[in-house]
Each structure stands twice: as structure tokens, then as C-alpha cells.
Amino acid sequence: MGLFSKRSVSDLGEKKKDMPEGLWVKCPSCGESLYESALAKNLRVCTQCGHHFTMSSGERIAALVDEGTFEEIDANLDSVNALGFKDYLAKVKAYQVKTGLKEAVVTGRARIDGTPVVLAIMDFRFLGASMGSVVGEKITRAIETATREKCSVIIFSASGGARMHEGILSLMQMAKTCGALARHGEAKLPYISVLTHPTTGGVTASFATVGDLILAEPKCMIGFAGPRVVKETTHSDLPPGFQTAEFMMEHGLVDMIIQRPVMRETLAKLLKYVQQEKKAA
């Protein structure tokens, strides 16, 4: 896991964040130059070709939930250097400064078109949204909160995989999150997994692919191993569109591919099928 290193993802959308307002951003898909402000207004979807740029967790929450309903939970969990891995906490610190986030996932209660849900949004800008103890714990607690409050949990995944700086503890987060989902499922409560670019490694091989419903953003990369590793292992050319959302839908993993501008209304519609209407406490 962690085979898919952050560097090999082309459109991180990281640099753009640092640019002052009003600058042009070049679409990596169609080459069109886009106004940063226009791109932000369009939920970071290219106005020309529909390419989905990386989106911050804050932007995503704003685009999804009923206004003013998001209430963050477990905001104060901090990573520790359990293995004594060289420079690990300095790295975490640098990403905290860079992104303004404490860790690679934001969780909380919210309503979507009136339906109470618990949301977990991974933020790829933070160390490739790799899963260490904090990410695993926050996702587990989000699931447990939803189980307790008898509502749906919706997880937006994006990840380079397990966080190797936390070694085996990272690997165990896969079992931990899936354990919480096992209990959530036994309580007949819904779990909607939304895959965004890129979802790989230990996140794909744990909570991201066991949703009752699995949605994906167009063309997002979904895979277990990184494409380079697959190519090197098999010594063969990869089929066209390999490991894209469309490819994975064709191969039976994904229920629906949803354009970002209609994500909120799609989730609202699906929630009404799977979740009994309830007044939140």
C-alpha cells in the first residue's frame, strides 16, 4: 500500500490554491485557461470540458450540505510519531500550515436536503490524504456516530493509500474502519461511499469499496495498486481507461458516476430511498 505516491498524480490542484485571485489556471484535460474565481464558482469543474479538479474538504462541504448545518466532530485529534519515523511530524506540521487543516479528513454532522447524515470528507491536499491513525480514528468515530444516531454515513474518499510513516498502525486502520462499518450495516443503516480522484491503496481496500452505494466522480482514478506498479508487474500495456471511474463501473464496482454539480441532489435522492426520515436530536 502507499504504492501510489502522491507525486505521480498530475492534477493536484495544490499550486492553484497559492495563487492570488484572478489568475488563470490551465485545465490539464482540455488545455483551456480558466479564471481561478470562475473555476471556484463552478465547484472546480472545468467550464469547457467538465474536468473535475481536486477540491478542498471545505469547498466540498459547502457544496453538499444544507446551509449552516455542518457541525464538525472530533476536530482535535492530532498525529503522533508512534514509530519514531524521521521527520514525520515536521511533515504533518508543514501540511497543517499549507492547508489550514489538522489532518487529512474532516468529519461532522450535517443535513442534506433535510436528511441528517454524518459526513467524512478526505482532503487529498493533506499528505495525499494518506490514512494514518488520526484519519482511521476520525472515520471510525464518524461511522460510530452515525450508528448511534441512526442515520447514514457518507464518506468522500481520496487517498494515496495507507500512511507509511505510521507503519502497521496505518494498516490496522483498514480493519478498524471496516469493523465499524460491519456494525453500522448490522444495524441496517446506510453507508454511501463516494470515490473521488484519486482513491487508491489501503483506502480502496477498506472502507471506500464496501458502501451500500458506491458513487464516483467522472474519470477519477480508482485502484488498489498504482498503474506503474501494475505495468511493471505484468509487463503489459494497460487497457484504455484502466482504473478510471468509468472502467470500474464497467467492471461492476461503481453504482453511479456523478458530476459534481449534481452530487448534492443525487445524494438527497438516494438518501430518501435508504434512510427513514427522522428528526435529528
Partner 1 sequence: MKQVLEFEKPLVKAREELEELRRKQALKNTSKVTLAIADLEKKLAELQEETYANLSPWQRVQIARHIQRPYMLDYARLCFDEFVELHGDRHIGDDNAMPGGFATLNGQRVMLIGQQKGRDTKENLLRNFGSAHPEGYRKALRLMRMAEKFGLPVICMIDTPGAFPGIGAEERNIAEAIAFNLLEMMKIRTPMVSVVIGEGGSGGALGIGVTDRVIMLENAYYSVISPEGCAAILWKHRQHAPEAAQALKLSAPDLMELGIIDHIVPEPHGGAHHDHHAVAASLKSALVSALAELTPLGSEELLQKRYEKFRAYGKFTEGE
Q: How do 71-72 and 24-26 pair as beta strands?
A: unpaired
- DSSP character for 66? P
Residue 46 interacts with, from Zn ion, partner 1, none (CB under 5-8 Å by kind) = Zn ion
Which residues, other chains included, contact 206 with Cβ-Cβ below 8 Å and sequence gap of 6+?
173, 174, 175, 177, 178
Closer CB to partner 1, 205 or 258, in the complex: 205
Q: What dihedral angle (degrees, nearest 10) is formed by the CA atoms of 232, 237, 239, 240?
A: 110
Residues between 125 and 144 with contacts to partner 1, criterion CB under 8 A: 132-134, 136-137, 140
Q: Which of 106, 164, 220, 267 is close enough to bind partner 1 by CB under 8 A?
A: 164
Closer CB to partner 1, 46 or 134, in the complex: 134
Identify which range of 21-29, 169-177, 178-186, 212-220 contacts Zn ion by CB under 5 A: 21-29
Contact 59, 42 (CB under 8 A): no
Q: What is the DSSP string of 212-269?
A: SEEEE-TT-BB-SS-HHHHHHHHTSPPPTTTTBHHHHHHTT--SEE--GGGHHHHHHH
Residues between 50 and 89 with contacts to Zn ion, criterion CB under 5 A: 51
Instruction: Tell me the residue type at 242.
Output: F
Residues between 87 and 146 with contacts to Zn ion, criterion CB under 5 A: none
Residues between 144 and 163 with contacts to partner 1, criterion CB under 8 A: 162
| Count of Cβ atoms closer than 10 Å to residue 276 Cβ | 11
Binding of residue 181 to partner 1 (CB under 8 A): yes
Binding of residue 38 to Zn ion (CB under 5 A): no
Q: Write out the three cell numbers for 90.
A: 515536521
* Contact set with Zn ion (CB under 5 A): 27, 29-30, 32, 46, 48-49, 51
* Contact set with partner 1 (CB under 8 A): 1-3, 5, 74, 76-80, 82-86, 132-134, 136-137, 140, 162, 164, 166-176, 178-183, 185-186, 201-202, 204-210, 223-226, 229-230, 233-234, 236, 238-239, 242-243, 248, 251-253
